[in-house]
Structure 1
Amino acid sequence: MGTEIKTGTNHTSRIVGTAWGLLVLNTLGSAGAQTIVPLPRSLIQMVTMGSLVAAFALALVVNPRVRIRASAYVFLLTLLLVPSLISSVEQGAGLGALFRCTRLALFIGTLWLLSRWWDGSTTFVRHHIRMYFAVLGSVAAGLVISPGAAMPELYGGRLVGALWPLTPPQIGQYAAVIIGLTVLLLLGRRTDRTSAAVVIVPSLALLALTHTRTATLGLLVGLALAISSLILTSAAARRFFTWAVLCAAVAAVGFSSALQAWFLRGQSQENFASLTGRAKVWHALLAAPRTTTEQLFGMGLGDKSFDGLPIDNSWLAVYNEQGMTGVALVAAIIIVLGGVALLRPPSLSRACAIFLISYCAIASYTEAGLGDASPYLLHLAVAASLLAAPAVPTPLPGPDVPTPEVRQRRVPRWAQKSEVT
């Protein structure tokens, strides 16, 4: 009997991990660099949308009775559907907006079904690392097969996905997230040094080749906050933090010019000050006239662009598509998750959650994605799973553990207490 239970648990874990991997595949997107073998965008969209449907189906198969756990995070995401639907219908945004609303609903529904296994453990952290490491493996394979296609002049020689259309910011984000999580697992002694090096070293190399400043800053700040939460209870965290500060000081003194050149990416001071042209789009978006309804509920779910240019800011993208209502809900998500993380006692799960929350908060300034199905919502979902209270199993009465009714029958009638009515 014990073997059957263990096998069933492993089987369920594999299905849950597969469903999570399909959610990751869905959020990879369909727009990016030119690949070695040209892939029609319609085919990529079919694969990504099909993966979402498959993830929902698998989650329903493994959770047929729809047992869910209370989650403020997924509840707030569900509320985010309301302004999305109102704006998409009222503003006549078209079938594309309604399709994105359906996609978001399926995405949230899958999270609800998988929330049954959110128990404060690092299970979903491992699922997250495995899937994104596989994605980075495809990037590395493309770099080996065709270096020219993987580092095209169109992107200034920055690393892109040559087998699957991935942009430098995407690759940098995936690399930074799994580096940070793996470092924390190593500090928490949940993995060995060899396994950690296999993930961290190549991911660092790919992050450097992308020249992604947002991902690098998010990694450094997120790790600093996460490790700081462990300093009082972990000697390994204290040693790592000390060595990290010393190495950072040496690098700042000895390699300042090289670091500055990498950080500027050959841009002029004016272009850097305007955040590579993002600020112009932001000013135009905020200056555009809007009705009261558009201010409250937005213009409907779109492709996170304004006048054909990418918005590249989660808060402005949410304001444009879901209005101030959407902005308030997204802010509530960050505040609630951050508040719960601060109230938890020091632990590895708490540190990983702090890293993910802080990374998403930092990246939201120059990347869009907090208002729609995206990797950022998956990062926050992992944080929510880490902050969930452990499930307390209800013991089943066995042959040596009599039920209350049996115990009552075993007591002699004369010894039972009588009720006075």
Structure 2
Amino acid sequence: MRSEINKVKAGPTKEFFVSMITRDILLPDAIVELIDNSIDGIKRQKVSKYNDYYIHVNFDQESFKIEDNCGGIDLAIATDYAFVFGKPQEARDKEERVETTGTFGIGMKRALFKMGQEFEVSSKSKNSEFVLKVNVADWMKEDEWDFPLVSSDDTVNYDEKECGTTIIVTKLFSGISQSFHYNAFINEIINTVRRKTNSEIKNGLTITINGSKIEGSFLSIAMGGNVMPYKYTFDSNNITVMILAGISTETNPDKAGWYVYCNNREILSADKTSLTTWKDDSDNEGIKYHNDYATFRGFVFFTSKYPEMLPWNTSKTGIDSSSMIYKETRPHMIDAFKVITAELKKLAKLDEEIRTAITQDLKKQTPKEIHYYAATEISNRTNISFIDPYIRQFENEASKIPMTTISYKAELELVDKVKKALDVSKIIKMLA
């Protein structure tokens, strides 16, 4: 007879855990997670400019490698926190708070498990260094969840410029290896990295992929003359929210919509759905997207030293619309949306000649690149009206044109024929 049992096993298997954390993230986003870890290393050093830092990413069908000089991982942090699945509260309490993207404690591990069967992490910080190697298949067989250190030393003394981390993944999974072979997929990785790290690139950070330097590609809005953007900023529960909306000199409809960032990481791009402020196929109120709004650009920047409170999902690829801070922010986004789209509605209703003239003049305005650092320099302003001044301007110019009256007699029969042929009676009536 069995003795009394007072508990049942409920722990996850490694196979299930690894399968679940790698399933909901695409390879380009996994690579961005590793780049984000490097960027967080810079942020922890509290420097204002990133010109002295680099992140080099190289891959082929055999291996993936990322190396940086972004400060490294301290040995004590590596052994106690950095490789734990999930960020312990003890680690949160001990760390000095900065506006990082590291939140849930699974990003680096998820990326490594996503790509291959073996990985090595080596890192140098000011006073320590270590090398860690993992064979995933062997690790899966063990009950122990910890990773083995090949070597470690906490008696070293490195200069800041020597501090950094190198990660190498080998024995790539076949799907990953094949993806790294296709130029189209490589371009997708480059574009994803460029889009997600624009602000850091603008701030001086060098990122290369297979030897090619990634250049920033910034969105812009018109500023100058009659045109100024809407801007509203507020603080709530240790989070600063900055909302910026305006019109672009570029009329590409693919770029129209809302862009949302959490601690500089782009979470939402060119959104034109009810998740933000638009009307889609659901029964929500609002404006359904039309190419009349192709110049609309809206930006929301959430920043906080408590990244776990920001409104992003665990893979940092989408908005958690149930988040309280997002619920608090969305009405302010709607306010900004109504102001800018009201101006675009005015423009759409104008006579073609005036509308064309205004549009051409708007395109002459100097575009302002928009990223977090540029947005902070723009003054708060919510009372926006730029179409009315244009209308008055063109009306005033038209009123200054000298006019005269033409009057002469003609045979009534001939006049009636001309009126009938040209249908000028309506025009005469309008001018009367």
TM-score, normalised to structure 2, is 0.22
Q: Higher relative contact order at CA 8 Å, sep ≥6: structure 1 or structure 2?
A: 1
Determine which structure has more spread, i.e. the larger CA radius of gyration.
Answer: 2
Decide which structure has greater strand share. Answer: 2
Decide which structure has greater helix share. Answer: 1
